[in-house]
Amino acid sequence: MSDKSKEITKPIAIWPGLEDGVPKPVMPYSPAIKVGDWIFVAGQLASDFKTGLPKEVIPNSKNGISGLELQSEFVFRNMAQTLQAAGCNMKNDTVKLWEWFVSDRPNQNDFLLGDNHHQLDIRPYESSMNNNFKDYLPPRSSIGIGELMWVGTQIELEVICLTNQGNSTYYSLEADGLENASAQTDAVRKGDWIFISNQNGMSKDTSSVSIEDQTECLMEKLLKIAEKTGSSLDQAIKAELFIGDIRDFAVVDKIWKKWFPNNPPARFVLPHSGMNANDIKVEASLILLSNDCKLQKDIIETSNAPIPMGHESQAVKVGNLLFFSTQMAFDNSGKIAEGMIRNPAAPWYGRPAQMQMRYMMENINAISEAAGTTVENIVRRACFHNDLQWFAESIEAWASYFPDDKPASTTIGLNHSLGIEGA
């Protein structure tokens, strides 16, 4: 996301004081960025950024509390304090929550067999989440990944908050036997904005393992939720698409095009995603505008950046906000661009992660300029590596584009292919 630089909407970095107990990041990013009514919080994990895991998140036999629950409490506490420093209330103003769980499953063999389940018991986390949000939960994207930046951390959380847009309205299609219907928030509407939780292609009437059937079911659910909130798929601004087996992408994208025939939303695609349950092959979430809003959805296109790898817009602009699609170092052929990997004849020459980051930033800047802004106004990024060994050289290149406040940032290690050979 990016915001056009105007005095009243200039991105402002939020740095809660160490006296509040919030550890200070050691890498070049801001804990949170506030721009207008929006607050974008960087990924939060249970580290003191010095020794690793603080003592308070290490389980002991006396209290019987799991490490995941202790880490979750630590993260939610720091997040609430960070948001308080931004003049925001985590319980009332959060409109989207991302949950990244570390697991060594599914592995490559699991994906090949169609088993995308991360095999984790996340109930200790959900207990902490319920304690911190109480009555109503925000829309969630909950995905299993391979690795986080600090050894021993099991979960990373990030949120977007929206203030001064009135009260939030929560929507749930069905409780499905849950003891508390608020434990399943399918969407929240706040003002003109609607955030839909991750939806999958399974329902009480559909349990097919076919990727075609699951994608159709997924899209039907997204449509029903959008309509229930007073929106439509035509008003979709940004989508997130999570796929287990990358070989399923072509089928999913073909069906996606049928449901978004014109002016598709910007889209983030993450292959090798660990799902919360067995047999799930695909999940997606949406950010939309309401049908009665006065804001306009503008599709951003430029020939100075590669065409997208699927049916998605390069970016979508709404007011002062700009939403990007996935950026990787591919060219118009959809393959890794020339010069982005080491020469096999000289395998120790070159810094491929740095080169790829610079290539992506050139494309991001071209898209930004087409939208009337610059990369210096980026407020949030989520960066995914096939291997975290590439982090140091890529973040060095990234930080060089931001002489002042750095964007909020989340960095995830997949330990799997990003979907394009060499990326």
Domain contains 28: yes
Is residue 163's pLDDT more than 80?
yes
DSSP 8-state secondary structure symbol assigned to residue 316: E
Is residue 305's pLDDT more than 80?
yes
By percentage, how much of the chain surpasses pLDDT 90? Answer: 85
pLDDT band at 64 (very low <50, low <70, confident <90, very high): low
Is residue 156's pLDDT more than 90?
yes
Q: Give the distance from CA 198 to its chain's centroid.
A: 11
Is residue 78's pLDDT more than 50?
yes
Q: What is the CATH number of the domain that holds 196?
A: 3.30.1330.40
Domain contains 78: yes
Mean pLDDT of 253-268: 98
CA dihedral for 157, 352, 399, 1, sign (positive or negative): negative
Is residue 335's pLDDT more than 60?
yes
Task: List 94's β-bridge partners, or say none.
Answer: 161
Within the chain, what is the greatest distance between any pair of CA atoms? Answer: 62
Is residue 165's pLDDT more than 90?
no
Domain contains 421: no
Number of compact structural domains in the chain: 1
Write the pLDDT tens digit of every residue in 104-121. 999 999 999 999 999 999
Is residue 306's pLDDT more than 60?
yes
pTM: 0.94
Is residue 180's pLDDT more than 70?
no
Is residue 423's pLDDT more than 90?
yes
What pLDDT does residue 203 have? 81
Domain contains 385: yes
Determine contact, residues 66/11, Cβ cutoff 8 Å.
no
Domain contains 26: yes
Q: 95: helix, coil or strand?
A: strand
Domain contains 29: yes
Mean pLDDT over all residues of the chain? 92
What pLDDT does residue 164 have? 83
Between CA 233 and CA 240, with CA 238 as vertex, the angle to 5 degrees is: 100
Which segment, 9-18, 55-64, 174-183, is predicted with the most confidence on average? 9-18
Domain range holding 145? 2-413
What pLDDT does residue 177 have? 35
The token pair that represents 110 in the structure block: 């699991």
Query: Considering only CA atoms, which of 304, 421, 329 is closest in space to residue 383?
Result: 329
pLDDT band at 23 (very low <50, low <70, confident <90, very high): confident
φ and ψ at residue 406, rounded to 5 degrees: -90, 150
Task: Tell me the three-class secondary structure of 330-380, residue by residue.
Answer: ECCCCCECCCCCCCCCCCCCCCHHHHHHHHHHHHHHHHHHHCCCCHHHECE
How big is the chain by its Cα radius of gyration, in Å? 20
The token pair that represents 255 in the structure block: 């069906």
The token pair that represents 297 in the structure block: 């959805």
By percentage, how much of the chain surpasses pLDDT 70? Answer: 94
DSSP 8-state secondary structure symbol assigned to residue 386: S
- Residue 217 CB burial class (10 angstroms; 0-12, 13-18, ≥19): buried
Lowest mean pLDDT among 230-234, 280-284, 343-347: 343-347
Is residue 51's pLDDT more than 60?
yes
What pLDDT does residue 18 have? 61
φ and ψ at residue 196, rounded to 5 degrees: -105, 130
Q: At what angle do helices 391-399 and 352-370 cross, to 10 degrees?
A: 40
Q: How many helices (H) and strands (E) does the chain have?
A: 8, 19
Domain contains 77: yes
Write the pLDDT tens digit of every residue in 209-258. 899 999 999 999 999 999 999 999 999 999 999 999 999 999 999 999 99
Spatial neighbors of 336 by CB under 8 A, at least 6 apart, are 329, 330, 420, 421, 422, 423
What pLDDT does residue 176 have? 44
What pLDDT does residue 134 have? 85
Cis peptide before 352 (omega within 30 of 0): no
What pLDDT does residue 60 have? 82
Determine contact, residues 200/273, Cβ cutoff 8 Å.
no
The token pair that represents 372 in the structure block: 């009337």
Domain contains 420: no
